[in-house]
Amino acid sequence: MTQSFYTAMTRRRFLSTSAAALAANAMSSGAPAQGATFRRWEISDPGMPPRVLDSYKKGIREMLNRAATDPRNWYRNAFIHIFDCPHQNWWFLAWHRAYIGWLEATIREFSGDTQFALPYWDWTKTPRVPAAMFDDVLDPNNAAFIPTFQQFNAQFDAPVTALWATFSQAQKDVLAQRGLSSTADFWSAVAAAPAGMFFEQPAARGLSRVSPDLDRTTQGTVSLPIIRSALRTANFAGSESGTDAAGFASAKASSHNDQSREGILESQPHDNVHGAMGGPAGNAFMVSFLSPVDPIFFLHHGNLDRLWDVWTRRQAALGRPTLPQGADLTAWSSEQFLFFSDPNGQPVAKTSASDYAAMSVFDYDYSPGSGEDQVPAPGPAVAALPVTQAFSAQITSATIGASAPAGGVVQVPAAALAPSAPQAPPRVAEVTLNLGPTDQGRRFRVLVSPEGGAPIEAGGITIFSHHVHGPTTFTVPLPENLGVTAAGPAANVPLDIRVVPLEQAPGAAPSTRFRATATSPQVAKITVRTN
Amino acid sequence: MRQYVLIAALVVGVLPFWMGPLVAADSTMIELAAPRQAERGDSVELQIKTGPLPRGARLTLSTEDGASLGAVTPYPQGRQSNTATVPVPRSAIIDGRLRLRLQVLEPGAPARAPRPSEVQRLDLVVAPRSE
């Protein structure tokens, strides 16, 4: 038994499900976590203790080795997602907080690491599968996982029949709502792909160690501007009818088995990262409701849970509601989640959505990640945002890879480059390239030289769509501190922005695509957007 | 209490109506009219209701000049209907109109314009943002 987990739990006074208490609890969680017992680290953060991934592997291996009759078996845990996961409604975040929290507790137990907390994957910072997630049992193509549907069915047929016999009427009602009234329905859904959800090795994950990048479209959906747009959503959940914003947590629905509308967070980073894990062929557990078979599922949802925390703290700092209000809060709070198990394999006592409104339920916090700048510092009321301004560059050299670096110069008032408030829109350079089909896979650097000074790297551009042609605009954030020394705020600062090809990665096969040719892409337009 | 304002709601299953002169072989351009300009403190969102998409397919949305706005990748794959939200920069609305390029990308097939059954409804929504 993981003593530290239960010690931490008993230290805390879990609140009742009353609306007022719930709201108070959520607001208190809005403050930076003080003294949380467990920290969830971003997987590429140098500060993450090496034991985290070792413990995760050890726990996964133990769960894979559990009997198929044990609720703590790795695949049995994934079944919970099929049985009960809410999507396209306002319980999306709370249910997944519970799901990863209970898995984390079980891994802590099985690994023997009393300090274990799941890592998370900040795909905005690192838009590719972290290299560590191809090691050992962190990759579902590893031999410790069941390789074929036939073997899977042979192991789980009888245990699933036995499991079905244990379901309460309330659980059966949930399953019926989801089209899973019988074990026959279950096996129809969990058939071998493409008809069903089971992706046989080596298609258990579509992205690979040699091709780990999220595709270009998905990179856009996890980009900082999209994440900031999601975090600036003012409401927790929109109406079911659909004439307002869907809300940060997605829109209201009458039960967590119903579909309503997805907000930006669910429809952009969440859905697209799931889809991108299928790679070019679209094959992976992650594209299906059996997605928790892939250990990266819990890192993906960890980041979404972190962003919920960022949004909650932002809302609290701005004096805005962090949860539904009034009767909506009562309806949201009382929704029942009936399929979770604790590290002992027993049904959990906390079955209400309200139990998972705050991170204190599992006593963790997150190392800082993308979007954190959207939380205003404590202080007086935030001033209204200035209007966004756009400035176009004069393109002086269009062909990338030619002797003169491609790009141009844009004149920007010094005032527009001054340090900005955390809630202000980011300053960006929008670079439009005319691309051809042979540009797929190419990478470029975007360099900015303020006032004729040394170039500063602003970001990279990767051409990853499998359909590439015509003008395509890439948004690159401008560095916060450009070192501008203009005479006054009204003076114009020349920003020289250049797009240069990246050399091939070491060890990559030679390719003429990386040389300047007559078909090299053209820089069509550069716009600097400031506030 | 602030009111949410629905700027424009378009189209239930009438995608061919949009086509005509705006059709390209591999994408569809549509134009949504905004009855008023989004004010400071407003955010603009595009809500897209999709019908069934082929397995592994996604619907991409971009502005006329190719700036990506977002994508709809139904999760789980094969979902029959999905209503997604994509943020729209105010700068993308020019002269009160959003010109939107829609394209379906699916594994092993050329990019193409969406079929009428695949895009069932588009709503441009203006809502106050948190700031």
Instruction: Read off the pLDDT of residues B36-78 as tens digits, 9 standing for 90 and up.
Output: 678 888 889 999 999 999 999 999 999 998 999 999 999 998 8
Of the listed ranges A138-142, A145-149, A164-168, B121-125, the least confidently predicted one is B121-125
Q: What is the mean pLDDT of residues A392-406?
A: 82
More confident residue, A211 or A422: A211
Q: What single DSSP character describes residue B112?
A: B
Q: What is the pLDDT of residues A164-213, one digit of tens each?
A: 999 999 999 999 999 999 999 999 999 999 999 999 999 999 999 999 99
**Is residue A474 within a helix (H) or strand (E), and if so which, with residue range?**
strand A470-477
Give the pairing of strands A406-413 and A394-397. Answer: antiparallel
- Beta carbons of A466 and B105 less than 8 Å apart: yes
The answer on pLDDT for A445 being more than 90 is no
Q: Using a pLDDT cut of 70, give the percent of chain A over it.
A: 77
| pLDDT over 90, % of chain A | 63
Residue range of the domain that includes B76: 5-128
Q: Does A226 touch chain B (CB under 8 A)?
A: yes
Q: Which CATH fold would you assign to the domain A3-368?
A: di-copper center containing domain from catechol oxidase (1.10.1280)
- Would you state the pLDDT for residue A192? 97
pLDDT of residue A431: 66
Contact, B74 vs B114, CB < 8 A?
A: no
Cβ contact B43–A473 (<8 Å) = no
Confidence of residue B23 (pLDDT cuts 50, 70, 90): very low
**Environment class of residue B118 by beta-carbon count within 10 Å: exposed (0-12), middle (13-18) or buried (19+)?**
buried
Is a pLDDT exceeding 90 seen at residue A449? no
Question: What ipTM was reported for this prediction?
Answer: 0.78
Closest chain B residue to A265, measured at CA: B85
Total number of domains constituting chain B = 1
What is the rounded CA–CA span in Å between residue B94 and residue A409?
24
What number of H helices and E strands is found in chain B?
1, 10
| Residue predicted with more confidence, A169 or A434 | A169
Domain ranges in chain A?
3-368, 389-530
Is A21's pLDDT higher than 70?
Answer: no
What is the tens place of the pLDDT at every residue in A265-317? 999 999 999 999 999 999 999 999 999 999 999 999 999 999 999 999 999 99
Could you tell me what percent of chain B has a pLDDT over 90?
50
* Dist CA A237 CA A251 (whole Å): 5
Residue A262 touches chain B, beta carbons under 8 Å:
yes
Contact: B45, A87; criterion CB under 8 Å: no
Architecture of domain A389-530 in this structure: Sandwich (2.60)
Residue A500 has pLDDT above 90, yes or no: no
- For residue A11, what pLDDT band results from cuts at 50, 70 and 90? very low
* Confidence grade of residue A437 (pLDDT, cut at 50, 70, 90): low
Question: What was the pLDDT predicted at B128?
Answer: 79
- Looking at residue A150, its pLDDT comes to 98
Q: How far apart are CA A357 and CA B87, in angstroms?
A: 26
Which residues in chain B (86-105) have CB-CB distances under 8 A to chain A?
Answer: 86-87, 89-91, 103, 105
Q: In the beta sheet, which residues pair with residue B47? A: B85, B123
In our burial notation (b when 16+ CB lie closer than 10 A, e otherwise), range A180-219 reads beeeeebbebbeebeebbbbbeebbbbbeeeebbbbbbbb
Structure tokens that stand for B9 in this block: 């709601």
pLDDT digits (tens, 9 = 90+) for A23-69: 333 333 333 356 899 999 999 999 999 999 999 999 999 999 999 99
The CATH number of the domain where B111 resides is what?
Answer: 2.60.120
